[in-house]
Amino acid sequence: MNMKKVLVTGAGGFIGSHLAEELARQGLRVRALVRYNGRNDWGHLEKLPKELLRRIEVLPGDVTDPFFMDHAIAGMDTVFHLAALIAIPFSYSAPERYVATNIQGTLNVLQACRRHKVKRMLHTSTSEVYGTARYTPIDEEHPLQGQSPYSASKIGADKIVESFYRSFGLPVTTVRPFNTFGPRQSARAVIPTMMSQLLSGNKELALGDLKPVRDFNFVRDTAEGFIALAKSPRAIGETVNLGSGRGVSILETLRLIEKITGSRLRVRKDARRIRPQKSEVFKLIASNAKARKLSDWKPRFSLEEGLRLTLDYVRTHLDEYKTNIYNL
């Protein structure tokens, strides 16, 4: 493994904190970029064991500042770029901010990686760039469809990354995770939304559309997928899905949570949680054949195992969730 000194952007976030944690456990020197704030809050990195956190260099800053990114990437041999604005509903209200962070921020990372001659850059995409599936399982050749300002900004970021590989030979890999869930995820996502409302004693859950089908993947599998692709020289210049190949509807996921908890719940449709008709993505099921071919990665956790571990986390961190407020 050529990685010795690595930078993780977005390390205070959900997936980023798990990735930084795993890299540190493997003995790498990790520089973790978290978004600057006046409280010196490191996001989910605050939850890491103190002895592990001491092995991580936490660097507050912002990917939208090219001068800061040049400083952050200097001396690194591998960059995992996860910093992004990701909430789809908020992208309807603030599309310009998504362009600034997701496209311009990615360009700043690329420029610095090129200037400092990093050995590998792993860029984070999203299954949302595919839009509603024209066929399943979705492979990496599926057309891209910008069905929300968020997904459009990620398509733009993916393409600027591709251009740096084709134009300048920058050793990049675009990692395209499907729907990741697990401990530390906010109620912006549907699984912790259901769990936090249930564990707060609600017998009637406020949810959006229950019909969309998703390919849910436990966060530790996703983090391991990033690392496996970073180890693979055959993944350079490639876009690679990370997914289970298994699709379940939101309603089926709710029924499984009911089964695990021994609950029976009513659902109230909350209009605020429903996307505009042409913006909703109704079916996402991954083909992970390319990931298996290019690396030794495959998902280890079943959906039920991941849900049980996530329930344990939400139960012990229930004070983090404002279950009476819609988390935009």
Residues 225 and 273 in one domain: no
The answer to whether residues 163 and 276 belong to one domain is no
Q: What is residue 328's predicted lDDT score, i.e. its pLDDT?
A: 78
How high is the pLDDT of residue 3? Answer: 83
Q: Does residue 100 lie in a domain region?
A: yes
Q: Flag whether pLDDT at 215 surpasses 70.
A: yes
Give me the pLDDT at residue 325, please.
Answer: 86
List strand residue ranges (DSSP E) for 3-72, in order. 5-9, 29-35, 56-61
pLDDT digits (tens, 9 = 90+) for 190-204: 999 999 999 999 889
- In a domain, residue 327? The reply is no
Do residues 113 and 149 share a domain? yes
Q: What is the mean pLDDT of residues 168-172?
A: 98
17-72 pLDDT, tens digit each: 999 999 999 999 999 999 999 999 999 999 999 999 999 999 999 999 999 999 99
Specify whether 194 is located in the same domain as 132. no
Q: What is the CATH number of the domain that holds 306?
A: 3.90.25.10
pLDDT for 183 equals 98
Domain presence at residue 293: no
Residue 304's SS3 state is helix
**Is a pLDDT exceeding 80 seen at residue 161?**
yes
Whether pLDDT at 131 is above 90: yes
Query: Residue 296's pLDDT is what?
Result: 87
The model carries a pTM of 0.96
pLDDT-based confidence at residue 324 (cuts at 50, 70, 90): confident
pLDDT of residue 1: 56
Average pLDDT over residues 244-255: 97
Query: Is 141 contained in some domain?
Result: yes
162 in the same domain as 132: yes
Domain tally for the chain?
2
- Does 87 reside within a domain? yes
One domain for residues 223 and 263: no
Q: Residue 228 contacts by C-beta under 8 Å, 6 or more apart in sequence?
A: 291, 295, 296, 297
User: What does the mean pLDDT of the chain come to?
Assistant: 96
- Residues 87, 22 within the same domain: yes
Among residues 175, 10, 18, which one has the least CA distance to residue 109?
A: 10
Asked if the structure places residue 33 within a domain, the reply is yes
Identify the band that residue 277 occupies on the pLDDT scale cut at 50, 70 and 90. Answer: confident
**CA gap 249, 245 in Å, rounded:** 13
CA distance 85 to 162: 20
Distance CA 181, CA 194 (A): 12
C-alpha to C-alpha distance for 217 and 1, rounded to whole angstroms: 25
229 plus 209 within the same structural domain? no
Distances (CA, A) of 7 to 54, 72, 73, 254: 16, 8, 7, 36
Share of the chain above pLDDT 90, in %: 95
Is residue 279 located within the same domain as residue 232? Answer: no
- Reply yes or no on whether the pLDDT at 103 is more than 90: yes
The per-residue pLDDT for 203 is 84
pLDDT over 60 (residue 233): yes
pLDDT on residue 162: 98
Rounded-to-integer distance, Cα 235 and Cα 241, Å? 11
CATH code of the domain containing 18? 3.40.50.720
DSSP code, position 138? B
Question: Which residue segment(s) compose the domain that 272 sits in?
Answer: 190-214+246-284+301-320
Closest CA to 19 of 101, 79, 95, 64: 79
Q: In this prediction, what percent of the chain has a pLDDT beyond 70? A: 100
- Given this model, what pLDDT does residue 327 score? 80
The answer to whether residues 227 and 255 belong to one domain is no
Is 91 found in the same domain as 75?
yes
- Strands in 239-242's sheet, in edge-to-edge order, are 56-61, 29-35, 5-9, 78-81, 120-124, 172-177, 239-242
Rounded to the nearest 5°, which phi and psi values hold at 150?
-60, -55
Tokens read off for 277: 């008709």
Q: Dihedral through CA 141, CA 174, CA 280, CA 289, nearest 10? A: 50
What pLDDT was estimated at residue 250?
97
Residue 313 placed within a domain: yes
Examine the domain organization and report whether 74 and 158 are in the same domain.
Answer: yes
In this prediction, residue 245 carries a pLDDT of: 97
